Every structure is written in C-alpha cells, then in structure tokens.
Structure 1
Amino acid sequence: MRDRVLRKWARIAATHPGWVILALFGVTVLSLISVRTIKMDMRWSDLLPLHDPVVQEFDRILKEYKSVSTIHIVLRGEEQEMKKFAEEVAPLIEKLDDYVERVDYKIDRQFLSEHGFMLVKEKDLERTAEMFQDLNLIPFLTQINDNFETEYIEEEEALSTKEKEDNAVRSLDGLQFWLGAMDTFVSEPDRATRALVESAVDRFLYGEPYFISQDKRVLLISVKPTFSSIEIDKCIASTEAIQEILDKAGSDFPRVKAGITGVIPLQKDEMEHMTVDMKRSSIVALVLVLILFMLTFRVWSTPLLAALNLVIAIIIAAGIVGLVLGRLNLMTSMFAVILIGLGIDYSIHIISVYGERRARDKDTATAMEHALVRAGPGVITGALTTAAAFLALAVSVTRGIREMGIVLGIGIISGMISTLVGIPAMLAAREWVLGKVSRKPVKPPHVEFRVLERFGRIVTRYPLHFLITAAVVTLFFLYQALRVNFDYDMYNLEPEGLTTVELQDTIIDAFDLSPDFALVTASSIEESWEIAERAREMPSLSSCREYPEAAQFERERSGSDRGQHRTTDRTA
C-alpha cells in the first residue's frame, strides 16, 4: 500500500511538476499570512511547571494587579548633577500616562510628615521624645549622641538587616548635613539662608531624601508601569519613550550617565536580540548547509532546491504554529535552526537515491518512482519517530517545554511532507529546464564516497579493535558528563553585553540590593504586616515593603476594605 502510494505520487510529481510547485507555493503564501499572527512571548514563567503553586500565584497576581514589575533608571555621576537630572526627568516621565503610574526617586516627605509617627514603634517614639526634651544646643547634641549609642551600639539587633542598616546610614547622613549647615552659619554667615535652614531640618528629620548609594555615585529612579511585563508592545514602547527623555536630558548633563534596567527593558532587549539572532543563525545555518551540500554533490542547483524546500517547510511549520499556538516563547524562538539541521536529511536521501537511479533509468518518472520507493519509507519512518519524540514533550507540565515539543513536532512533519511533495517536483522541473537550455538530456550527478567504502572494509576486518576503542571513548565522555555542573543563573542566558544586565549588577554593587523580587499575597493588612516583619529578619532579603503603603494606611484607619493586599520582598 505504501509503495503503491509513493509510486503513484512520484509519477504525478515527475509528469506535472508545475502544478505541484504551484500548489506548494499557494500553501506557502497562506502560511505566511498565518505567520504574521505569531507573537513573541519571553516570560520566564514559561520555563516553570504550569501546576506549580508559585507559577499559579504569579499568574493570579498579574490578573489582579496592573503590574508587578518596575523600570529602574540608574544614574551615575556627581551627586548634585544626578539630583538635578532626576528632578528634571521625573516630571517628564510621569507625563507618560499610557505607560507610567508613578515615579519614585526620593522619599514621600508629605506622607512621612503626616503619618510618620504612626509607623514608628513605641520604644522609638519614647526615645524621640527624650531626644527633643531640651532644644538647647549642648543638651540636644548630647541627647542625639545618647540616642545613637542606645539604638545602634547597645542593641545587637539594630543593624541586623540591610533595611535597618540603610535607615541608620540615612539618619547619620541627615545628621551630618545638619551639622554642616550649623558650621556654615558660624563660619560663613553670608551663605546662611532660610532655605538652608529648612533643608537642614528636613535632612535631620527625614535623612537623605533621594534613593542614592552610600558613596553618592549612583542614584536610582523607580518607575511603576501601568501594564505587566507580558505586554511586549508596551514594554518596547515605554522603554523607548523613557530612553528618549533620558537622551534629551543627557545633553544638558554630560557628566551624568543614565541607563534603564528591570524586567520590562530586559523584555525589550530580549525581543530585539532574539529576533536578530533567530534571523542571523537561521541564515548562517542555511548557508553552511548549502556550502557542504555543494561540495559533496559537486553541483549548485540541487542544493539550492533543497534549501528552498527547507525554507518552505519552515514557513509552513510557522504558519501551523500560528494557528495552533499563536506565539513563540523563549525556547521555541530558535526552532528554524533546529529544523534546518534535521530537515535537510530528508532532501539528501531523496536527491542521493534519485541521482543513483537516474543514471540507470531511461526517464525521470521511472527514476523518481524507484527513488521514492527506496528512500521514502526511511524518510517517513525517521520523520515520524523524531516527531513522536518531540510531541511526547506535549505532556510536560512546563509550558515552554510543552510548546517546544509541539513546535518541533509540527516542524519535522512539515519538513517530511514538503520534501516528499516538493523535492520530486523540483528535481523534475530542474531537469526539464536545464534540458531546454542545453538542448540535451541532463541527469543529476551520481556521487560515491570511496573513502567510506575503504573505511568500512577496515572496520569489518578489525571489529574488535574498533569496539574496544569505541568503549574507551564512551567511558571517557561519560566521566566528563558526570562532571557537568548546572548553571542556575538565568541571566547567563541573556545576550552578552546587554546594558540592562550590566546595570542590574550596578544596582547590586551600589545598593547591596537586587532588582529581582519575590511577591507574597495576604488576605488582610494585618497578615501582610506579620509576613513583612518575619521576612525582614531573613538574611537573604535586602528590604521588605507592603504596597501600596499609603492606601493601606487609609484603609486601616477607616477599618474598611479587608480584601487582599500584596507584600513585596526585595531580595538581596
């Protein structure tokens, strides 16, 4: 039955190649239309199991909140220049209403002045009251010194976390600025102004208002977006809009270096680099296959037909993926390169056998029949077993791996069908065209590898030697395989030299704070506070905050809205 179908199709393709090629071209055009619907989705959660509670909770948070990501703007330069830069760009970024919910680059002074004491522990309130009992200079300075000794020297837990350490540094920074202002009043009374007094008092009460590193060389601006990181179009548009603002402001502040990092800018970079890499690697793979094919078969037209068949197979596969899945993820985006490496084999089998039969048979149709009957079963069996292996991944609980199996399974089957349908028609059309041009029968060259024949004879003569050698080599590489270590740093999957990744390291070095974070949901404000208190004691966490703090405070005061609230733990 199979041989009869292959014979019949071989004769149709050999006698009516134009119609077959035209039909294949029509399917390709329809596939191209479907390809335009494919979206690139680079979510890291696709690499995790679908039924994992962490993944389900993350997806639920994305649905219930506008965004859980933050765009970080990293400024590097001289302290005052960075602060002026931040003051200039922050209002402009806030005007991007379609993408930006708020911009944070310094503490909310108004909120702290109105509600700060309500957020302070009772013992800290008592210390503060004692410190301000006598406002005469010497007693006041003495009380400040005693307060610092009590809080940061006598109590071992005072600097036990990164957040407590940052608060201590902020307080000391404010005290230093206040003392410097007093020195200015004494040594340079002409510079003593009311603005300096107000600034000194604010710094003393609230500390350093800007999100700046302890060495004053890096300033951080946090932008909260109105969308999630899975909305790729908005990731790209918002990052470009913010970058445009930074570039314009940069001309007025040449000594300030400004860059963007965070999940959203990283999504944009991944998209751009993945698209470029996918095209580049596919072209390079196709060219290398073509060169090797031409060197082997000593002809240029036949390899071009095989390459054309590969392109058609990839387009058809992508079109089917557009209908079935509608997207490519982090793992499936490079499927074209894999299909080029696997799909070229099918063309090689048919072309090789056809060249051998054409040297013996009198016409194209007969040679094509023998070629498909001889090579077709192997192509079909090989393709179906390979596709089955990939499609078996469809039962995976990880979405990325499951879709990779589906995409590659579809691609292998598409490559098999396009080869069995297209290659016979293309070979027949090639022979007909070259015959018309040269006005004499043209047969494809029959290639034989005499070296392999001699090597086969040597193997059959000394089988034991080759078996021992193969066993030794296998054991050596097994030993090397057992020494392989897993790299769990996901950023090592990113393209080299990405500014977004470099700035992530800059934030970690400058603030001892990672832009990465963990999200925890709570059913009430009280529960979120309890979780936050326990989380702050964890050494692996840099800081822990409940969001949105102001709204939570108002709800707590009014005793209303006992719904869900989000606690964000920023990891160190």
Structure 2
Amino acid sequence: MSGWKDCGENKMSSENSGVRVRVMQAASRLVYRRYWLVIAAAVAVTAFSWWSSRKLDLKLNFVDMLSPDDPAVLAYQGAVKQFGALSFLFVVVDMEDPGRGRAFADDLASRLVEDKDFVPRVFYKAEIDKYLDDALLFLKPEELELLAKTVEDNRDELKRMAADPGLASTLEGVTRVIGGYVARGQIDSVESFDPAMVIGPLREMVRAAKTYAAEGRGDPAALRQTLLSQVMKADRQLPIDPSEPYILSRDKKRMLMLVSSSRPSEDFEWCRAYMEYVEGKISASMKKFPGQPRPLITGNAAVMRDDNRVIRHDMKLTTLVSFSCIMLLFAFSFRNLSSIMMVGVPLAVGILWTMAAGYWVIGHLTPITAIFGAILMGMGIDYAILILSRYTEERHSGRSVKEALDQAMAQSGTGIIAGALATCLAFFSMTRSSFSGGRELGVMAGMGIIIFVIIMTVVLPALLVAWDRSRKSVGPTQKKWDPKFMRLAATAADDGVDVVLVGDSLGMVIQGHPNTLPVTLEQMLYHTAIVSRGLSHAFLVMDIPFQSLPASREEAVRACVRALSESRAQAVKIEGFTPYVLDLVSHLTSHGIPVMGHVGLVPQSVHQLGGFRIQGKTPEAGAKLLEGVQKLQDAGAFSVVLEAVPHELAREITARTAIPTIGIGAGPHCDGQVLVSYDLLGLNETYCPRFVKKYARLAETVKAAMETYAREVRDGLFPETQS
C-alpha cells in the first residue's frame, strides 16, 4: 500500500511541477518574441517611477509610526489641531559679556517676531510689570478671599501707609496692623505671632537698600523687586529671578530664548523653511554685534530638519554602498562587463520601482522603511544570479538564445517565484500589526520582493535576449567539440585500461562550464553512446548527472535504465551516500543495474561543500566517509571512487572495505586510479588539479599544427602544385 501512496504523491508533485514549468516557458516565449516591447514598457515605468519617487516624503515623528487609533495619539493630534504647535525652538545665547548678550537677545527677539507666520512670540525674559498687573491671577481662590478680608479689615491703615510711603511709616503701619489683630483676638498675643513673616522680607529690603546705596545707584525699584522675590519663594513661584528678568543659567553665563512656532514640527518642509528663517535672523543680528558667539540651537524643528537630512543621506549611502559591493563581487566573479550590466540595471530599476510603489500605496517613508533598499538588493541579487547563471551556462553548452531562456525560466524561474511568494507572505503578515511602522515595513518589503521577481523574470530575460541578438549570436555561443575525438580517445584507451568512465566532468572540459551541474541526461547519453562505439572490451560506466537525481526516485531509475539501454553503458556512477542515494543504489542493484559509488569531493555538491576542496581532513570527517563507503557496499555498489581525500584515509578505507576503491587525487593506496582524459593528454590549458600528471602536451601539438597549416596556406605551400 505504501508504494501506491508514494507513487500517487510523486505523480501529483510531478504534475504540479509540470504546470509551473509550462507557465514559465510560456512566459519565456512571450518575452523572447516581444523583448523590445518589454524593454520599452520597463523604460516608461522607470521614468514614471523616477518622477513618483522624488515626491516621496520622509516622516520622522514617532507618532506617525504608532497606531492611529491609540488614545494617546488621538489626544496628541487633537491638541495640535486645537492649539497649534506644542514645541519650542531653544536658542542658547552666550553671556560672557552680560550687557552685550542682553542687547543681542533683545535685537534677535525683535527680528524673529517680524514674520508672525513663522514666529508668533519669543520668551526670553520676565516682564515684571505685567506680572504685577496680573498678580491676582497667580493666587488661589482661598488666598484671594483672605487678601480681600485683610484689605477690608485694614483699609484705614493701608490708606495711611500709602499716603506716607517710607520704611519708618511702613514699620509703624505693620505694627498697628498686628496690634489690631491682637486686640480683636485674631492673634492671641504678640509672642504667638511669627516675626519672620514680616522681619524676613524687611531684612532683605534693608540689605538691598544698603547694597544699592553703597553702589551709588539709589534705585527705589530695587526694594520692590526684592520684596517681590521674597513673595515668589512660595510653592507657586515662577522659575525666574525677578531681580534679573532674563532667563539665565545658574552661573549667569547662558541665556535661554524660547522661540515659538506657528505650525507643528512634523512637517519637514515647514521645519526646513522655519529653520532657514530663524538662522537668517540670527545671522542678521550677529552682523550687528560682531564678535558675539553664535547661539546654539536645538528643539523639535532643528532635530527634525537635521534627522531628515541624515536619514536621507544614510538611505542613499547604504543603497549606493550595497549596490557598489554587489557590482564589485560580480566583476570579480564573472569578469564580464555584459554580466555586470545585466545585473546592475535591473537592481537599480527595482529600487526605483519600489520607491514609486511606496509613494502611491503609503505616501511616505519612515526611518524603518527608508533603509530597506539595501536589504531588497540583497534579495534581488539572488534572483538575478539564478536566472543569469543558468542562462549563461545553457548558452555555453551550445543552446540557442530561445532554448537557453526556456531552460533558465523553467529550471530557475519556478524556484524563484515559489521562494518569493513565501517571503512575501511572511512580510505581508506584518500588516496585521498595530504598529504603523511595522505595517509599512511589511507592505514595502512585500511590494519590493514582488517587483524584483517581475523584473528578474521579465525585464532581465528581455535584456539578455536584446544583448545576445545585438551581437548577432542567436545560435550556439561555443563551437561544439567533434564527437569523433571521443571515439578516437575511447579506441586508444580500449587497449590499455580496464574501465572507461564517461563523467559529467565533460561539462567543464568540453562544454566550458565552471562545474558539472548544467550537464543534462541527454548530453550524457549522447557522449556515452559515442564512446561505446569505440570500445571493444573495456568496462563502460556512465555518470548520472545532477539534474536526473533530485527530482524523484522514479526519474533517477529511468535515467539509469536509459544509460544501459540507449548509450550501451554497462554500469552507472552515482555520487554521495545520503539516505536517498543509498535507497536508490539498493533499488537499482536489486533490479540488476550495477552501480559505482563516489565519495569525498563530489562535484555535484560543490556548492554545499564550499568549492573544490579536499574532504575528510578531520578525524570526524574521515570516519563519516568510511561509514559512507561501508553503507554503499551494503547497498550493493560494486566499487567506489575516492576523490580528493587524504592518502592515509584512502588507505584505511581500502583496507576496511571489500569492494574495489578507485582513487583520483587520493594517493597510491587505492585499488585503481582514474584521471580525466583531457587532463592526462594535456588538452586542458586552463585549470588543472595538482595531482594530475600530463602524459602528453596535445594542446601545444594541436596549436602548433594549426599555426603551421595557416602559415603554409598564406605562403602558398599548401596545397602543393600537382605536376
């Protein structure tokens, strides 16, 4: 029963996969036929996006990132609507020269209020006379009642004191008032009355009088100021010193000016204009007072203006730096200007489209969404690499532009879309957050991913088609090798070797790929059939390529059957020893298909291994390889290839297993050795592993022969004149 269930699930999975592939190939054909229309539409959208992105606003107020239904946010917005701006600009004036500082502040204050649309009022000193005129407003209701009663009870005495002002008459009047309270029984006795209530203020008045007299100033208003300062030491006092009306620091070296604003500081454009106005007035006052240090400015408007400037700069900088780093990595990896252009243009366009979408959907950026461009480029570059790499590999393998585009879209495009949809769902789920900043981040990120998928699966393929067609290279990009050479090499090898392996390394040495992953089953069958026709007795093994293994066991089995029936191979080679591979090997061998294993450096897992590196260098890794070979032996493999493993480890594996070991870069202790024919014949002029020994230099021979042939044709030596 379980076998039928697995078969049904695999069939359904295969059908779904087939639908996705057909959809992507249909899109590929549409792009191939209408690539100029796609590019023209992309240019038009990009121009519109440029216009839209320039109108995108940047909001820095934290309130804008909170839920609009939050009671505190509603209260704040209501207060702003009713009372206008709720913040001040703080201007700190240097007071090293007190007289000059006061004059500068007076001049600046008068200039700032010239335009009430910007600055309705400036608070920087206490206007004592106005406070005295409105002094009753600072008293509590019970205090007003007490004052009224006191005035009524002492009306005659107060008139007498007002008619004869002076210290002596004041003291006499106070004494008579206190005596009256005692006589009426409102104070039990003079002894029960706290003299500090009267003596304290009078003492301060006398001290102030002596000081002013000693200074020769004789200002009668000083006595009034001193008395007022004593009165204002109660719990309701104002934060000012009535003897010094300006708002000064404790050490009197700084003056604080509170500059009001006619609008809230959430509007960046207003903050910029407001700050330009204030700074212009400060500059004008400084011209009038040369040498006066420039005041320090802070407050919501200043912070908003500067933060906006910094965040915009950082947004551009991070995007530019990430873009530059990506381009440098591409230049280093591909070393191809066209590849860099094919990636750089879509990346830049994707960021621009995302910004425009943000303008039309959200209308603004926040500090959270402003720096997301770098993250989007990191995700978008993955999509570009998958499409571009696959397309390039297909073109190098000899496929036409249309065929390469179909394969790139079918093999890479479906995975890109599936991964992007999963990521989009994760980001769009953030829209359920009550935090506006989180919701907007989810919307921007989700839209950005969708936009990059569209660009990398539609615009990038159109650019690739246009680029290749502009070079008039709509056919294969690489001349195919003559298959007769493979027959010749097989015939020559048949006399001296026991086993001939047609490996998927032909993708590197023949097709020019950087690894073996692009090799298809059809290509392996084609080359193996050619080799088989040149052999008479050597045992022939065919590599099962990467693309035929991961899909399903049924597909892998069909590939192995075709290897034996169509290409006349006598066995197949399969890399690795994962549970899936071990199950496949057991299934194949139980049905009469010989299998050769392959452990160590397995080229089909080059990305997982981090490159072409020696494997099994640590005791743990070596033990794992030994265990893998033993499991392959138990599964029915008749031999195993050990590639790029330490010599002593290869010796141990050979000694502890019953099946033959075949080494390649594994030292002399294996049961057999294998080399790539192109390496041992010296036909490979590019990279060659260190363990390879070249038994011939055929590349040099071929090159010399071609040069001699060309020279003799030019010199008229070939063909020879017939007698």
Q: Among 282, 285, 300, which residue is 1:246 paired with?
A: 282
Q: Which has the higher helix share?
A: 1
C-alpha spacing 1:430/1:218, structure 2 compared with 1 (3 Å): same
Match of 1:308? 345
Match of 1:166? none
Give, in whole Å, the separation in 1 of the partners of 2:346 and 2:458: 10
8 Å CA contact 1:353, 1:375 repeated in 2: yes
Match of 2:331? 294
Give, in whole Å, the separation in 1 of the partners of 2:422 and 2:86: 43
Q: Among 218, 221, 244, which residue is 1:208 paired with?
A: 244
C-alpha spacing 1:13/1:81, structure 2 compared with 1 (3 Å): same
Indicate the SS of the match to 2:457.
helix
Following superposition of structure 1 onto structure 2, how do residues 346-385 of structure 1 map, counting pairs within 5 Å? 346-385=383-422
Give, in whole Å, the separation in 2 of the partners of 1:455 and 1:96: 68
- How far is 1:279 from its partner? 1.2
1:427 aligns to 2:452 (yes or no) = no
- How far is 1:17 from its partner? 2.9
Deviation track 1:254-283 (CA, whole Å, cap 9, x = no partner) reads: 243302211111111111111111112111
- How far is 1:460 from its partner? 8.8
- How far is 1:146 from its partner? 3.0
TM-score scaled to structure 2, two decimals? 0.54
8 Å CA contact 1:352, 1:447 repeated in 2: no
1:92 aligns to 2:111 (yes or no) = yes
8 Å CA contact 1:13, 1:425 repeated in 2: yes
Give, in whole Å, the separation in 1 of the partners of 2:72 and 2:457: 46
**Aligned residue type for 2:47:** V
CA RMSD for the aligned pairs? 3.8
- How far is 1:298 from its partner? 2.4
C-alpha spacing 1:400/1:454, structure 2 compared with 1 (3 Å): closer
Deviation track 1:334-378 (CA, whole Å, cap 9, x = no partner) reads: 222221122111101111111221122431110010011011011
C-alpha spacing 1:463/1:183, structure 2 compared with 1 (3 Å): same
**Aligned residue type for 1:14:** Y
- How far is 1:314 from its partner? 1.4
8 Å CA contact 1:339, 1:411 repeated in 2: yes
Match of 1:162? none
Deviation track 1:228-248 (CA, whole Å, cap 9, x = no partner) reads: 122221111011110111122
Match of 1:227? 263
Indicate the SS of the match to 1:282.
helix
- How far is 1:50 from its partner? 3.4
C-alpha spacing 1:442/1:216, structure 2 compared with 1 (3 Å): farther
Give, in whole Å, the separation in 2 of the partners of 1:104 and 1:179: 31
Q: Among 48, 55, 76, which residue is 2:73 paired with?
A: 55
Deviation track 1:424-468 (CA, whole Å, cap 9, x = no partner) reads: 1112222233458xx9958998544977465589899699968xx
C-alpha spacing 1:440/1:446, structure 2 compared with 1 (3 Å): closer
More divergent stretch after superposition (16-25 vs 406-415): 16-25
1:117 aligns to 2:108 (yes or no) = no
1:388 aligns to 2:389 (yes or no) = no
1:12 aligns to 2:49 (yes or no) = no
- How far is 1:81 from its partner? 3.0
Following superposition of structure 1 onto structure 2, how do residues 120-519 of structure 1 map, counting pairs within 5 Å? 120-121=139-140, 135-136=166-167, 146-147=196-197, 182-186=210-214, 188-189=215-216, 192=217, 196-198=219-221, 201-202=224-225, 205=228, 206-251=242-287, 252-434=289-471, 441=477, 446-448=513-515, 452=607, 454-455=609-610
8 Å CA contact 1:14, 1:425 repeated in 2: yes
C-alpha spacing 1:9/1:442, structure 2 compared with 1 (3 Å): farther
Indicate the SS of the match to 1:211.
coil
Q: Among 106, 115, 130, which residue is 2:125 paired with?
A: 106
8 Å CA contact 1:89, 1:246 repeated in 2: yes
Give, in whole Å, the separation in 1 of the partners of 2:612 and 2:476: 39
Give, in whole Å, the separation in 2 of the partners of 1:318 and 1:197: 69
Give, in whole Å, the separation in 2 of the partners of 1:412 and 1:353: 21
More divergent stretch after superposition (5-14 vs 289-298): 5-14
**Aligned residue type for 1:306:** V
**Aligned residue type for 2:64:** D
More divergent stretch after superposition (43-52 vs 55-64): 43-52
8 Å CA contact 2:95, 2:253 repeated in 1: yes
8 Å CA contact 2:397, 2:513 repeated in 1: no
Give, in whole Å, the separation in 2 of the partners of 1:423 and 1:60: 50
- How far is 1:333 from its partner? 1.6
Structure with the greater relative contact order (CA < 8 A, sep ≥ 6): 1 or 2? Answer: 1
Match of 1:45? 63
Larger Rg: 2
Give, in whole Å, the separation in 2 of the partners of 1:148 and 1:429: 99
Indicate the SS of the match to 2:336.
coil
C-alpha spacing 1:70/1:393, structure 2 compared with 1 (3 Å): same
Among the aligned pairs, what percent are the same residue?
A: 26
Give, in whole Å, the separation in 1 of the partners of 2:435 and 2:258: 32
8 Å CA contact 2:399, 2:477 repeated in 1: no
Give, in whole Å, the separation in 2 of the partners of 1:425 and 1:229: 47
Deviation track 1:514-570 (CA, whole Å, cap 9, x = no partner) reads: xxxxxxxxxxxxxxxxxxxxxxxxxxxxxxxxxxxxxxxxxxxxxxxxxxxxxxxxx
8 Å CA contact 1:383, 1:413 repeated in 2: yes
- How far is 1:35 from its partner? 2.2
**Aligned residue type for 2:464:** L
C-alpha spacing 1:150/1:202, structure 2 compared with 1 (3 Å): closer
- How far is 1:380 from its partner? 0.7
Give, in whole Å, the separation in 1 of the partners of 2:337 and 2:270: 46
Give, in whole Å, the separation in 2 of the partners of 1:253 and 1:445: 76
Give, in whole Å, the separation in 2 of the partners of 1:388 and 1:44: 26
**Aligned residue type for 2:213:** F
Give, in whole Å, the separation in 2 of the partners of 1:426 and 1:296: 20
- How far is 1:305 from its partner? 2.1
Indicate the SS of the match to 2:258.
strand
Give, in whole Å, the separation in 1 of the partners of 2:55 and 2:305: 19
Match of 1:83? 102
**Aligned residue type for 2:314:** D
Give, in whole Å, the separation in 2 of the partners of 1:56 and 1:334: 28
**Aligned residue type for 2:438:** I
**Aligned residue type for 1:238:** Y
**Aligned residue type for 1:429:** A
- How far is 1:88 from its partner? 0.7
Give, in whole Å, the separation in 2 of the partners of 1:447 and 1:367: 17
**Aligned residue type for 2:395:** R
Deviation track 1:468-492 (CA, whole Å, cap 9, x = no partner) reads: xxxxxxxxxxxxxxxxxxxxxxxxx
Give, in whole Å, the separation in 2 of the partners of 1:425 and 1:80: 74
Indicate the SS of the match to 2:121.
strand
Match of 2:185? none
Match of 2:697? none
Indicate the SS of the match to 1:100.
coil
Give, in whole Å, the separation in 2 of the partners of 1:244 and 1:391: 46
Deviation track 1:41-100 (CA, whole Å, cap 9, x = no partner) reads: 111113434333212211222222211121111223323333222111001111122222
- How far is 1:185 from its partner? 3.0
C-alpha spacing 1:442/1:25, structure 2 compared with 1 (3 Å): farther
8 Å CA contact 1:297, 1:445 repeated in 2: no
